[in-house]
Amino acid sequence: MKIYIPLDTVAVALGADDIVAAIEVEAARRGVSVEIVRNGSHGMVWLEPLVEVVTPSGRTGFGPFTLADVPALFADLAAHPKALGPVADLPWMQGQTRLTFARVGIVDPLSLTEYEALGGLTGLRRALALPKADIVAEVTASGLRGRGGAGFPTGIKWKTVSEAVADRKYIVCNADEGDSATFADRMLMEGDPFTLIEGMVIAGLATGATKGFVYIRSEYPVAIRVMESACTVAQQAGVLGDSVLGTGPAFDIEIRVGAGAYVCGEETSLLNSLEGKRGVVRAKPPLPALEGFMGKPTVVNNVISLATIPVIFERGAEFYKDFGLGRSRGTIPLQIAGNVRFGGLYETAFGLTLGQIVDDIAGGCASGRPVKAVQVGGPLGAYHPRSDFATPFGYEEFAGQGGLIGHAGLTVFDDSADMLKQARFAMEFCAIESCGKCTPCRIGAVRGVETIDRIAKGDAAAIPLLTDLCNTMKAGSLCALGGFTPYPVMSALTHFPDDFAPMKEAAE
């Protein structure tokens, strides 16, 4: 009997390890031999732990699985109380276009053989036969833009590094994923680590870089473990090492662990951190593409940007580019979080409206109450009211609504949310995580908390002060931590003025 039980942090956080142990005990007691594979998560968090049993008709799912559901796994499976049928047939899976996440949940994350059987390394083999400039051109033609937040065209960044002349160049994968409501990087690294490795190797071929780093936040112990093991497997198989797949140049990868600083997700702060310094943001120029890690030309890309490279080379830039909307090409792994009935990872072409995502896919609030606000793009993203629900999911489209898509995380709040409190938190978070380099961010955020506290006490005169402060932070901050904190604050104030009304405290 072959059983899949995810090793993904989400499954573990909901009891997967205990279920593995219980299944082993129950199987031993019954004298049944079981083979348990720890796969990635399919992304349906409300069904985790999602156990799958291999049957003659394919993989059948059972979830959300509890210890009490173990004995019935050894009886008539069709009658199991948690039976879901084939996982691939569930509506959440059917609705998606899984390109970057095609193998996540399906593949055994550390089996390179299975990885190849499911199309892995096809893209790398193709890239190995191409000159550097053609690899870069393919990425540019795909329309891929950075998935870490800023949406910068990946091909252009690679071109700069490729054309720079230096004795050493680096590929740095940004796996700091500090934004609330985001977990796509984590799920990809835990569920299909070779895809990221393959993407980084192709980046190395394109630019002439021979060394890669994956900077993973320390809050992700499972991802760190899986990535380290995957690198060892890739080294043993010759995917990484002195000559990529025995014919290419050298490329190797080292896993590095962050130390609990949100700002280290900002690329220059991350480079300082990798070099062993305080994670203070660097002024640009120089661009990291020209003077990055140790002053050498460096590609800094998000996990999802790099992990999307293999499918672009496997299926072609045109294929990838045909998905999407406007200048947002391809697919985006939406991360649906907070107060939702159906939360998790949903990869789809750009262009669904916010309303389709929140009402249809997420099914509204878990609490059963009306949706009040959706924060899109993490802690630096705006709070959107229902009146923004017609906005299609795309970089320019959200910018047009005074917001941003960031790393594509969405946090849904029901009508019990207090938007003044959310605005206060945004300022508090900025104050805690500021790298300290600029005054508007370091001091402004502290003033922001105080000003919002005054508003909460009924001081209406503090409202214009808050607006001024936000303008100062926007204009005077070096990076988006100080510069974008005004998005959540001002959107809360603008769209939900009742929560900031002076009578608020008096009425309570």
Partner 1 sequence: MLDAATVTDRIEHILEAHQGMEGPLLPILHAVQAEFGHVPQSALPGIAKALNLSKAEVHGVVSFYHDFREAPAGRHVLKLCRAEACQAMGADRVAAHAQKALGIDWHGTTSNGAVTLEPVFCLGLCACGPAAMLDGKPIGRCDEARVDDLIAEARA
Ligand X SMILES: Cc1cc2nc3c(=O)[nH]c(=O)nc-3n(C[C@H](O)[C@H](O)[C@H](O)COP(=O)(O)O)c2cc1C
Site residues (vs partner 1, CB under 8 A): 9-10, 12-14, 45-46, 48, 177-183, 186, 211, 218-222, 256-262, 273-280, 293-294, 335-340, 343-344, 366, 375, 379, 409, 411-414, 417, 422, 425, 429, 432-433
Residue from the set 84, 206, 300, 473 that interacts with ligand X by CB under 6 A: 300
Laid out side by side, the sheet with 371-376 consists of: 344-349, 331-338, 409-414, 371-376, 383-384
- Min dist CB 265 to ligand SF4, Å, is 10
Within residues 225-284, the interface with ligand X by CB under 6 A covers: 263, 265-267
Decide: helix, strand or coil at residue 261. Answer: coil
Residue 162 found at the interface with ligand X (CB under 6 A)? no
Residue 60 or 375 with smaller CB distance to ligand FES = 375
Residue 49 or 381 with smaller CB distance to ligand X = 381
- Min dist CB 177 to ligand FES, Å, is 10
Residue 161 found at the interface with ligand X (CB under 6 A)? no
Distances (CA, A) of 217 to 98, 263, 442: 25, 11, 23
**Selection from 190, 201, 193, 229 nearest residue 125 by Cα:** 201
Alpha-carbon distance 432 to 40, whole Å? 33
Alpha-carbon distance 41 to 49, whole Å? 9
Residue 105 or 343 with smaller CB distance to ligand FES = 343
Residue 180 found at the interface with ligand FES (CB under 6 A)? yes
Contact 169/210 with Cβ under 8 angstroms?
A: yes
Number of residue whose CB is nearest ligand FES = 438
Residue 301 or 477 with smaller CB distance to ligand FES = 477
- Residues of this chain that interact with ligand SF4 (CB under 6 A) are 263, 281, 434-438, 441-442, 477-479, 481-483
- Min dist CB 183 to ligand FES, Å, is 7
Alpha-carbon distance 10 to 46, whole Å? 10
Burial 487-501 (b: 16+ CB within 10 A, else e): bbbbbbbebbeebbb
Residue 301 or 348 with smaller CB distance to ligand X = 301
Bridge partners, residue 62, by sequence: 51, 83
- Min dist CB 117 to partner 1, Å, is 29
Distances (CA, A) of 96 to 89, 164, 303, 358, 361: 11, 39, 20, 15, 10
Residue 120 or 343 with smaller CB distance to ligand FES = 343
Bridge partners, residue 300, by sequence: 172
Laid out side by side, the sheet with 298-302 consists of: 252-257, 211-216, 170-175, 298-302
Alpha-carbon distance 396 to 402, whole Å? 10
Alpha-carbon distance 265 to 286, whole Å? 18
Residue 177 found at the interface with ligand X (CB under 6 A)? yes
Residue 323 or 342 with smaller CB distance to ligand FES = 342
Name the segment binding ligand X (CB under 6 A); options: 45-53, 360-368, 408-416, 478-486.
478-486
- Length of the chain counted residue by residue: 508
Residue from the set 8, 52, 138, 176 that interacts with ligand X by CB under 6 A: 176
Residue 436 found at the interface with ligand X (CB under 6 A)? no
List the single partner that 161 binds among partner 1, ligand SF4, ligand FES, none, CB under 5 to 8 Å by kind.
Answer: none
Within residues 426-465, the interface with ligand FES by CB under 6 A covers: 437-439
Residue 81 preceded by cis peptide, ω within 30: no
Q: Contact positions toward ligand X, by CB under 6 A?
A: 146-150, 152, 174, 176-178, 263, 265-267, 300-302, 305, 479-481
